[in-house]
Amino acid sequence: MKKKIKYLGIGVALFIITGGIILTYIGLSDIPYYEIKKIDYRVHSTAESVERGKKLALMLCANCHINNKTGRLSGKKMLDVPPEFGEIYSQNITQDKKYGIGDWTDSEIAYLLRTGIKKNGQYSPPYMAKLPTMADEDINAIISFLKSDDPMVAADSTPDIPSKPSLLTKVLSRIAFKPFPFPEKKISMPDTNNAVELGKYLAHNLDCFSCHSADFKTNDFLTPELSEGYFAGGNKPLDEKGRVMLTPNLTPDKETGIGNWSKEDFINAVKYGIKKGEKPLSYPMMPYIHLTDREAGAIFEYLQTIPPIKNKVPRSKYD
């Protein structure tokens, strides 16, 4: 019996030592690198694609990358990233060839947007939004804008500040957070004459589901409908002071969701931050003023078709 206890103790000690060595190694190493799949991607840029790309970038990229001092997408400290992920800075994505993405090819930008893998092969952790299900036409539009003569993306020599990812981020980037596959088939735009189809596309590709489902850690970015608590709220994003801001239930449940809302109520909330009978919405729910009423209304139409989930989420005391 004593021998068994002795051997068990030795086994536990070896396990702890091995685990400590592994964690020490991960802590001293960087975010993982991956082999880059060679793709041949060329952007077709038109005035219309640049305009569409700017609209998408303002809703998807600007909030994290806009630098208030430069007025350009030259990066900043991301105050709304949970501190357990480390000290995180968004990168310069202007056309500066030294500090931005001015020397990136169309293929390298497309590969990053789709997979989350940078041109040097390093994975960009989940605080950078990836677009694995966005239509090819919209990916083309975003890159068209990033390579345009718009002042927001004009070359800016603000150096990147390296992020300091935590041990947790480094561990999760080896276990839970992995690059997405580059699509093997064309992804088409939704039928814009079909409100529900258009609304689903926008709700998924503007990352609405990501915030409004149960938890970022259980979101399914390739098949959003499989995310835990899909659109039932309760997720815990932070405001720019690091305070938890619970996300509301957007399923059509009549008691705890938006089952009793009108389309006009929803449009006012999404586009202008106005919630009927309550004080205005606040960060991280920014007004989506660049959406048309028809687009915002289409998201509402889609949400009315998903299964209602009873999940009462109190409004955050800071909101």
Give 25's pLDDT tier (boundaries 50, 70, 90).
very low
Query: Which tokens hold the place of 115?
Result: 């997979």
| pLDDT higher at 202 or 6 | 202
Instruction: Answer yes or no: is pLDDT of 3 > 70.
Output: no
- Whether residue 126 is contained in a domain is answered as yes
Q: Is the separation of the CB atoms in 302 and 250 below 8 Å? A: no
Number of domain units in the chain: 2
Q: Do 235 and 212 form a contact (C-beta atoms < 8 A)? A: yes
**263 lies in the same domain as 168:** no
Average pLDDT across the chain, whole number: 89
The answer to whether residues 148 and 202 belong to one domain is no
- In this structure, of 45-59, 135-149, 168-182, 219-233, the range with the lowest mean pLDDT score is 168-182
Q: Identify whether 87 is part of a domain.
A: yes
pLDDT band for position 29 (cuts 50, 70, 90): low
Give the percent of the chain with pLDDT over 90. Answer: 69
- Residue whose entry in the numeric block shows the structure tokens 């718009």: 150
The larger pLDDT score, comparing residue 97 to residue 82, is at 97
34 in a domain, yes or no? no
pLDDT at 108: 97
Q: How many CB atoms lie within 10 A of CB 268?
A: 18
pLDDT of residue 128 exceeding 80 = no
pLDDT band at residue 26, thresholds of 50, 70 and 90? low
What confidence category does residue 9 fall into, taking pLDDT thresholds of 50, 70 and 90? low
Check residue 271 and give its pLDDT. 95
Structure tokens at 162: 């390296």
223/171 same-domain check: no
- Quick check: 130 pLDDT over 90? no
Q: What is the pLDDT of residues 58-80, one digit of tens each?
A: 999 998 999 999 999 999 998 88
Residue 11 lies in a domain: no
Do 202 and 166 fall within a single domain?
no
Dump pLDDT digits (tens) for 256-303.
Answer: 999 999 999 999 999 999 988 888 888 888 899 999 999 999 999 999
Name the more confident of 6 and 77: 77
Band of residue 21 on the pLDDT scale cut at 50, 70, 90: low
H-helix or E-strand containing 164? strand 164-165
Q: Which domain holds residue 116?
A: 47-175
Instruction: Give yes or no: residues 169 and 208 share one domain.
Output: no
CB atoms within 10 A of CB 233: 21
Q: Check: CB of residue 165 under 8 Å from CB of residue 125.
A: yes
Phi, psi of 16 (to 5 degrees): -65, -45
Taking the C-alpha atoms of residue 107 and residue 37, their distance in angstroms, rounded to an integer, is 10
The answer, yes or no, to whether residue 315 has pLDDT greater than 90, is no
What's the residue count for the chain?
319
Same-domain pairing of 52 and 169: yes
Output the domain CATH number for residue 88: 1.10.760
71/146 same-domain check = yes
As separate numbers, helices (DSSP H) first and strands (DSSP E) second, the chain gives 10, 2
Instruction: Give a yes or no: residue 310 inside a domain.
Output: no
Could you tell me the two tokens for 189? Answer: 């735009």
pLDDT at 218 over 80: yes
Give the whole-angstrom CA distance, residue 55 versus residue 271.
Answer: 14
Q: Which of 110, 144, 175 is the last residue of a domain?
A: 175
pLDDT tens digits, one per residue of 142-196: 999 999 999 999 999 999 999 998 888 888 888 878 899 999 999 999 999 999 9
Residue 145: what pLDDT? Answer: 98
